[in-house]
Amino acid sequence: MKPRVFVLGDSLAGLVTAWRLCTADFQVTVLKTHGHSDAATSAFSLPEQTQSLDSPQHESVEYFCAGPATPLVCYGAHKQTDALLQDLNISKHESSWRPVSLEFKTPSSPPVRFPNTPLPAPWHTVLGILNFSALPYSLRWHLLNFVEKVWEGVAILPNSLDLESAESWLTSIGQPLPVHKTVWNPLCRFLLRTDLAHTHAGSFVTMLTRVFFQSRQHRPQIAQIPNLPTRLEEALTEQLKKRGTTIVCRQFVEYLQVGPEHVTGVCLSNGSLHTADWYVSGLLPTTLSSLLPERLLARYSSFQQMSQTTFAPTITFHLELDLKIKKPRLLLLDAPFSWTLCRPTLLSKSLGSLLSCVSTNDATFLSLPDKEIKACAIETLQELFSDQTCLASERPFRYHIARQPFGFVPHPLGTKPYPLSNQTPLRNLLLAGSWTDTGAITEIESTIVSGELCAQAIINQNHERD
C-alpha cells in the first residue's frame, strides 16, 4: 500500500510538496484553500484587491489585474525556481529572467544606477561602489576601506550586531544620516522590507554579504513570464490531477486530531475525517496554531513561536502609462512607496509602461481610501520622473491597487529572528512556506525550497521505516 500524505492548503509550497511526493509514488490528498493559506503565496496570487479605472478603456483589464500583487523580483541565485520551471516545461532556463539594475533617487539629481560589471564576486561590488555616484567620493573610499579591513581580518564585525539597529551600525562605520536617507534606508526596505531603525544590524549585514559579496548574480532579475507564480501553481495542479491526486475543495479545517507525538487525522468543516501517514501544512502559522490543542502550544516553544508569528502588510499600486522606456528599471526611494518597478508593456494602441509602486510594513496604508493611496503613489512617481508631463495630476490614469494584509513576516528589532523549521515537534507534521528556515534569499525561491525540503524529509522518513 502506498504511503499517504495529506497537504493542508494549495499554496505554491504545498503544491511543490505534493508534486514531488506524487513522483515518488506517494498517495497524496490536497485540501484546496484558494491560495489564501500562505503569506508568501498571497503576494503572488490574487488576494482581495481593489480595482480602480479612471479610463474608459477596458480591453486589457483582465491582463492588467492578472499579475502578482507585488512585482516578482529575484536577487541572488534561484536554482530551485529555475529547476521547477524546467521540470514543468514552462520556460527555458535562459529566457526566464531579465536583469535590472538598482537605481537610487538623490535630492539633487535624477536616479543614480549602481554600476554592474562582468567581474566575479566580490570584485564586481568593489568596482561598483567605487563608481557609485549616489555616495560622495570620500564616503565611497571610506566604505571600501572598511570592507577591505573586514576582508583581511584587520577589523572584525562585533558579536553585538543583533543587539543594535542597522542605522546605528552604519553610523558607527562612517556612513552619515544624509546617505541613510538616499541609499541605505531604501536598500534596506527593498531587501528586508523594514527601515534601518527597525532592522537588526546583523540581518542587514548578512543580507548585504549574500547579495553583493558572494555571487555575481547579485543583480535583481524580473520574471519574463507574466504572472509566473500563478503559472507555477496552475501547472502543478494540472500535473497532480494527471497523477490522480485527490483534491478536496470548498472545505476548511475544523481541527487537527492529535495523539501524544503525532497527528492522527484532520477534521474538515463537512464533518469528514481524513487520515494519513504524514501531514504537511501550507497554512499561515497562526492559522495552524489555532487548530492545535492548547497543551501543545504550552509544551513546545516552536508551537508558541508559530502562534506568535506576525505578518506585515504590503500595498502595491499598479499604473498603466504611455511612458516610453526601452528596458525595465528598478528605482529605490526613501518614501512611503519605497521601490518602483517600471516595465515596458503593450497598451491598447501603442507601447507604454507598467509602473508598480510598492509600500511595505506600513499598516496605516491598509485603511486608507484608494484616493489617498493613489495621490501618494503619483507623488512618488512625479519625484522619480520629474521630467514626464504624462504624470500630471489632472491626467486620467488607469490604475489598480492591491492590498496584502499578510505580505511577509518581519523580524522586529529586539527579537532575534529564528525561522521555523520544516519539521515540527509532531513527527508526522511538517510546515511548508516561505517563512520557514530555507536559507533562500527571495520569497519565491524560499517557497519552492520549503516545499522541496518537506517532500524530501517525508521520503527520508519513509525509507527509515522500510
The pLDDT, as a whole number, for residue 300 is 92
The pLDDT, as a whole number, for residue 92 is 63
The pLDDT, as a whole number, for residue 52 is 42
* Residues 61-72 pLDDT 10s: 444 455 567 888
Those residues with Cβ within 8 angstroms of residue 418's Cβ, 6 or more apart along the chain or in another chain? 305
The pLDDT, as a whole number, for residue 24 is 94
Centre a 10 Å sphere on the Cβ of residue 291 and count the other Cβ atoms it contains: 16
Q: Return d(Cα 81, Cα 96) in angstroms, integer.
A: 10
The pLDDT, as a whole number, for residue 102 is 94
The pLDDT, as a whole number, for residue 349 is 66
The pLDDT, as a whole number, for residue 143 is 94
Domains and CATH numbers, the chain: 4-42+227-310+415-465 (3.50.50.60), 101-218 (no CATH), 312-408 (3.90.660.10)
How many residues does this entry show for the chain? Answer: 466
Q: 320 - beta bridge partners? A: 354, 398
Burial of 62 (0-12, 13-18, 19+ CB in 10 A): exposed
* Residues 9-51 pLDDT 10s: 999 999 999 999 999 999 999 999 854 433 333 222 233 333 4
Those residues with Cβ within 8 angstroms of residue 394's Cβ, 6 or more apart along the chain or in another chain? none
The pLDDT, as a whole number, for residue 97 is 86
Q: Flag residues of the chain having pLDDT under 70.
A: 34-68, 92-95, 216-217, 347-349, 389-397, 412-417, 466
The pLDDT, as a whole number, for residue 41 is 30
